[in-house]
Amino acid sequence: MKKWNKLIVFSFIAALLMLAAPHNASASISVSARNAIIIEQESGRILYEKAANDPQRIASITKIMTAILAIESGKLDDMVKISEKAVRAEGSSIYLKQGEEVKLEDLVYGLMLRSGNDAAVAISEYVGGSLDGFVYLMNQKAEEIGMTRTHFANPHGLDDDENHLSTAFDMAILTRYAMDNEKYQKVAGTEVHRAPNPTEAWDRVWKNKNRLLTELYDNTTGGKTGYTKRAKRTLVSSASKGNLDLIAVTLNGPDDWNDHIQMFENGFKNYQNVEVLSEGDIETINDDFYHNRVYLNHSFSYPVTKDEKNSFEVKYKLTKPKQDWKDEENIPEIVGKATIYFESAEVKSLPIYFKKEDKKEEKSFFDSFRNLFTAIVGVKIDG
């Protein structure tokens, strides 16, 4: 009887342990931040989130939007005259002087590396025509890229407006968008920047405040720090390892450096990018009209755990060939789409292209010979 009692107790303990064990890769993450998220950059897949859609104050990670708008303005080589309003901006500063002229590109570096609020105002006045004009552009861009729970009221993130709010998810969307820009990537990933100082004999030298980039985490590729009394510590960072590019965001995170390292390490350990569809010919389509004549112009990869590798399904939908397609010139460039499903949810749709025969390759040997003969005779006649 005692044997059976021991067996029952052992089975009960084993069952409890199985219930307590993490059932997915994100279950082992525990962050200090009130709001957090980590996504894979290319696909946008969320690997972990914690209250990621709650609107909160975001402090200086606001400047990611300010930076990308300045970069997209196409005016980085312009010289910006610094106004009194810019010089009088509160909080962190790169110590601009009224009346001096500074290259817009250098202002963006000062904005991102040293979080200069004076740089943010100077950029907004120049790119937007006014601070209010720039804020309009910020909200317009936010709507354009799908930041549905965000409202910007200034270019720097100071607590001067009750409605300057965003979410961890929206800031991940913004950073994903910004990281598609090579110039932004370079600025966000720069450890030290040197800029001319027009009123002094020495250059301005700015070291990046992002300690993940400069000393704490070797895989870091960029990011932006933030802090105000009301927002507390906010942080956006990006990191790459192997074939994974990750973006992490924390809001009100007292231990944010370690929060980000933990999220990155968990992501790199448990996920890998799997190529679901390859660029080139689609060999699985056996339709008489389309066989060996359709292709994808780029591949598609998606981050998964080992247990999720067989969770994909691909469905092809092709346009029914029309009567006038007997003439190949009438066949459209795109003739269908390939839709990728992951665990029954659609994650991507890619256009299917039709491969037309190259007319130049159809030229016969006789045509080539005739053209050559005509050319020789023409030379003789014309002398």
Nearest to 274 by CA among 242, 248, 316, 247: 242
Rg (CA), the chain: 28
E-assigned strands of the chain?
35-40, 46-50, 79-81, 101-103, 192-195, 204-207, 220-228, 232-241, 244-251, 272-277, 280-281, 294-296, 300-304, 312-318, 334-342, 345-354
Give backbone dihedrals phi and psi of 378, rounded to 5 degrees, phi first: -60, -40
Strands of the sheet with 280-281, listed across from one edge: 280-281, 294-296, 345-354, 334-342, 312-318
Which residues belong to the active site? 60, 63, 115
Strands (E), 126-203: 192-195
C-alpha span between 208 and 373 (Å, rounded):
69
Residue 336: strand pairing partners = 318, 352
Q: In angstroms, rounded to a whole number, what is the distance separating the alpha carbons of residues 363 and 256?
A: 66
* Long-range Cβ contacts of 219-222 (<8 Å, 24+ apart): 219/264, 219/268, 221/185, 221/188, 221/189, 221/245, 222/179, 222/185, 222/188, 222/189
Block residue for tokens 């965003």? 166
d(CA 152, CA 163): 7
Cα–Cα distance between 94 and 79 in angstroms, integer?
Answer: 16
**Phi/psi at 47 (5° precision):** -95, -25
Spatial CA neighbour of 103 closest among 8, 198, 177: 198
**What is each CA distance from 230 to 6, 49, 65, 106, 150, in whole angstroms?**
55, 22, 20, 29, 17
For residue 12, give the amino acid letter: F
